[in-house]
Amino acid sequence: MTFRTLDDAGTIYGQTALVRVDFNVPMEAGRVADDTRLRSALPTIRRLNAGGAKVVLLAHFERPKGKRVPEMSLRPVVEPLAALLGKPVAFADDCVGPEAQRAVGALPHEGVLLLENVRFHPGEESNDPAFAAQLAELADFYVNDAFSAAHRAHASTEAIARVLPAYAGEALRRELEMLDKALGAPERPVMGIVGGSKVSTKLDLLNNLVGKLDRLAIGGGMANTFLFAQGHDIGGSLAERDMAETAREIIASAARSGCELLLPVDVVVSDRVEPGASANVRALGEVGPEDKILDAGPETLKSIKDAIDGARTLIWNGPLGVFEIPPFDHATVEAARFAARHAKTERLIAVAGGGDTVAALNHAGVAEDFTFVSTAGGAFLEWMEGKTLPGVAALAA
């Protein structure tokens, strides 16, 4: 899909841009605890200001369900955002109506204004055209810079793009370009790593990937389901035994598509899931009735590294084991560091995303070494599943 970017906006001097950002940031004691999402919005804000536009920021925070909840106000974001920008940021106590209109009218040339939580209005999540029209009254054009909300057909992500001239912001553009490099038009061979606890939550993902990848390594609890489906004894391990037939169908689909599945050939087990618990390597067929499979074994890790070594593109979602509890983080950490070394030397385009994945790469200390790490969560997963994202489709050129 081609989409409109700020390169297509033409002259913006003297105009007002309504910019959808993701400021759903972690908060502690009423203060922003992690400003990563604020930083991601800076390139777009600065580009618009440099072009002579006023910037009006639109965002959500948590789930107020269409009601005004004081504890879910975006006001605490103003001070840290102003510090990052090095200039004042105004705040409006509403995102539509007279309060918002007055704040926009008072905004100086190249000023920045943050509107109150868009989810305080029920029209946001219902994608109400009338609410979108109210938002549109505030600006001359619309910019979506929140990929993390692009999988939602909400008024601030989809309906408004039908009312105002609409463009992708700098962060959204980079996200879409990197995701296209990973799956849309990747350098081959292309490999995937998918982990996590349940096959049932990643069925669409697995079915889409086996038709697009050259190799796919499956780890975590879902690998146990595949091993069980193949007739291996998995002892007391976490698995979805009722999904065995589905796992066999995915194996068959991969074979038809020419996608090589990399399943564990050995595993790390313990009888306890706690830090410092004894970790024992078992070959398939040696897992005891009390054993819990908690990580990939050394031979499995070697096969994954070999596959990474032979790939030009890697897309990663989900850990290979219970990475939160050492020593069962070993395979995830080692594979992540191996991929990161290849990415740093540009031998590999390494793209990763999903909550647990970001946490695992941070745990391994390599998140910044990957080519791109998406923090978009649900939107990243739906994109990997091959689904159309309403917020992106609305920007189609």
Q: Residue 105: which H helix or E strand, with range?
A: helix 97-105
Judge whether 67 counts as a catalytic residue.
Answer: no
DSSP state letters, 112-177: EEEE--GGGSHHHHTT-HHHHHHHHTT-SEEEE--GGGTTS--TTTTGGGGTS-EEE-HHHHHHHH
Judge whether 378 counts as a catalytic residue.
Answer: yes
More confident of the two residues 264 and 181? 264
Choices 2.40.50.140, 3.60.20.10, 3.30.420.40, 3.40.50.1260: CATH for 186-384: 3.40.50.1260
Q: Of the residues 75, 198, 337, 344, which is catalytic?
A: 198
Mean model confidence pLDDT for the chain: 95
Q: Of the residues 37, 119, 181, 212, which is catalytic?
A: 37
Judge whether 292 counts as a catalytic residue.
Answer: no
pLDDT of residue 1: 67
Judge whether 212 counts as a catalytic residue.
Answer: no
pLDDT of residue 140: 98
- Residues 358 and 311: their CA atoms lie apart, in Å, by 21
Q: Is the pLDDT of residue 206 over 80?
A: yes
pLDDT of residue 39: 94
Q: Of the residues 51, 97, 236, 355, which is catalytic?
A: 355
Domain ranges of the chain: 6-172, 186-384
Q: Which of 15-19, 28-32, 375-379 has the highest mean pLDDT?
A: 15-19
pLDDT tens string 133-183: 999 999 999 999 999 999 999 999 999 999 999 999 999 999 999 999 898
Q: Which fold has domain 6-172?
A: Rossmann fold (3.40.50)
Same fold, 6-172 and 186-384: yes
Give yes or no for a contact between 164 and 9, defined as CB atoms under 8 angstroms apart: no
pLDDT tens string 220-249: 999 999 999 999 999 999 999 999 999 999
Task: Spell out the SS3 assignment of 168-211.
Answer: ECHHHHHHHHHHHHHHHCCCCCEEEEECCCCCHHHHHHHHHHCC
Q: Of the residues 51, 66, 378, 386, which is catalytic?
A: 378
pLDDT of residue 376: 86
Which residue type occupies 258? G
Per-residue confidence at 106, pLDDT binned at 50, 70, 90?
very high
What mean pLDDT comes out for the span 57-81?
A: 97
pLDDT of residue 375: 84
Write out the two tokens for 331. 């395979």
